Every structure is written in C-alpha cells, then in structure tokens.
Amino acid sequence: EDQVTQSPEALRLQEGESSSLNCSYTVSGLRGLFWYRQDPGKGPEFLFTLYSAGEEKEKERLKATLTKKESFLHITAPKPEDSATYLCAVQARDTGRRALTFGSGTRLQVQP
Amino acid sequence: EPEVTQTPSHQVTQMGQEVILRCVPISNHLYFYWYRQILGQKVEFLVSFYNNEISEKSEIFDDQFSVERPDGSNFTLKIRSTKLEDSAMYFCASSGASGETQYFGPGTRLLVL
C-alpha cells in the first residue's frame, strides 16, 4: 500500500526565515511525486512534479528535491503570502494506475 | 490559463437524497478524477475515468457512487443515497494524455444533514 508522511504537521516562520518541509513516501515503483499548495476551503494548486531521484525543480521562493525515499520542499525567504498547507502526493508506476496518494500536509504560517 | 471548474460550490442535502456534483475539466485533457477531503483529513482518491469508462476506483467508491461524462465537456459524480459521512469537500481533477500531473478544481462542499 502506498504511503506518504509529511513533517512537520505545522510550521510557523518569520518572514525571511528559510526552512524545509519533508515528505517521506513508500510506493511500489514511483511514477511521479507531486507538490501542491492548498489554501483554506480551496482546491489543491499544482506546484511541481518530480520523476526521479536527484531531480530538482524551482519556482520563485520554492525548490523541490527528490531522493529514493523522500522529497523536500525548500522555502527561501518566505513571505506572508506563502502561508498555506503544502501537500505531497505520489503516483505509482503500475499500468493503469493514476490515483494520487496524499499526505496529511504541512500547515505553514509566515508571520510579517 | 485553462482551469477545472466545479458546480455548485456548496450543496446542503438531507440524508438519503441523491446529489449530482458537476465538473468541467480542462478541455484537451483525457483523464478525469474525483477526490474527496473530509474536514481536517487527507485528500482521498475516489475514481478515475478514461476513454469513457472507469479506469480505477478506491474502496470508498461503492455502489452508491457513479460517474458519467454526459457530453464533451461535463463530468459528473452522483451519490445515490447520501449518508452523514458523505459530508466533505469533493474535488474534480483532470490530466493530459500522460495521465500524470493532475489539476484540481475549487471543490464542492457537500453537507449532509
């Protein structure tokens, strides 16, 4: 059974204070690992897809990295508008499978 | 930028009633999905739909649930006889030919009384 564990559950940062969010996963062959941002009462907003260990993707203040067992979302010099829940999800490589298995998310609060 | 849309944004229903949640996926996408998120819990997969048939479903997606693509643009989720525990946010998603990156709609908040 595919599993995704995210830590910490919640993180409070001061504006400009960089940090990393962790996503540990177990999957029967990884097709892709996905990061989403979710604001309260809204749908997940796509951020990154990572396919293989060693891959990195960047967008503004966010950088996602992938190893064979975990992924990190690095937030550099965050701003209050980065406050949201960040979700990690995995998709298995099995033929015909497209379902995403999500973690519980990390709730990030960035204070001015 | 193309986006997934969902209607209604909120729905309140009585236990035992049927509800239909509607979605318009991104126009050139081929895979369609429904997920749900009970308040305070993880996003959970319900079903995927490809080439006019269900390609994958979870244990949650029992006989009370059905999906349909009634025309070239809409994708619907029907719950035949709602239960209190069906109260959740329901998200529609779609993905392109590779079926990988999924783009989510804003959700329908369903409350069953």
CATH number at residue A25: 2.60.40.10
What pLDDT, on the 0 to 100 scale, is given for residue B97?
80
Q: Which two tokens stand for residue B63?
A: 């006989």
| Residue-number span of the structural domain to which A68 is assigned | 3-111
Angle, CA B46 vertex, CA B42 and CA B49 arms, to 5°? 140
| Mean pLDDT in residue range A14-39 | 96
Instruction: Give A66→chain B minimum CA distance, Å.
Output: 16
What is the tens place of the pLDDT at every residue in B58-79? 999 999 999 999 887 899 999 9
* DSSP H helical ranges for chain A: none
CATH superfamily of B5-97: Immunoglobulins (2.60.40.10)
A46 to chain B, any CB pair closer than 8 A? The answer is yes
What pLDDT, on the 0 to 100 scale, is given for residue A95?
76
List, in sequence order, every residue forming a beta bridge with B49; answer none if it has no partner.
Answer: B32, B54
What pLDDT, on the 0 to 100 scale, is given for residue B1?
77
What pLDDT, on the 0 to 100 scale, is given for residue A1?
87
B107 to chain A, any CB pair closer than 8 A? The answer is yes
| Percent of chain A predicted with pLDDT > 90 | 94
State the Cα–Cα distance between residues A34 and A44, nearest whole angstrom. Answer: 11
Picking from B104, B94, B95, the residue whose alpha carbon sits closest to that of residue A38 is B104
**From residue B54, how far is each of A33, B13, B34 by CA, in Å?**
23, 26, 11
| Count of structural domains within chain A | 1
What is the tens place of the pLDDT at every residue in A33-50? 999 999 999 999 999 999
B99: pLDDT strictly greater than 80:
no
Query: Which has the higher per-residue pLDDT, A94 or A3?
Result: A3
Instruction: Return the number of other C-beta atoms located less than 10 Å from residue A110's C-beta.
Output: 21
Q: Which two tokens stand for residue A106?
A: 């990390």
Tell me if A102 and B31 make a contact (CB, 8 A cut-off).
no
What pLDDT, on the 0 to 100 scale, is given for residue A28?
87
- Polymer length in residues for chain B: 113
| Mean pLDDT in residue range A73-95 | 95
Torsion angle of alpha carbons B92, A84, A64, B27, nearest 10°? 20
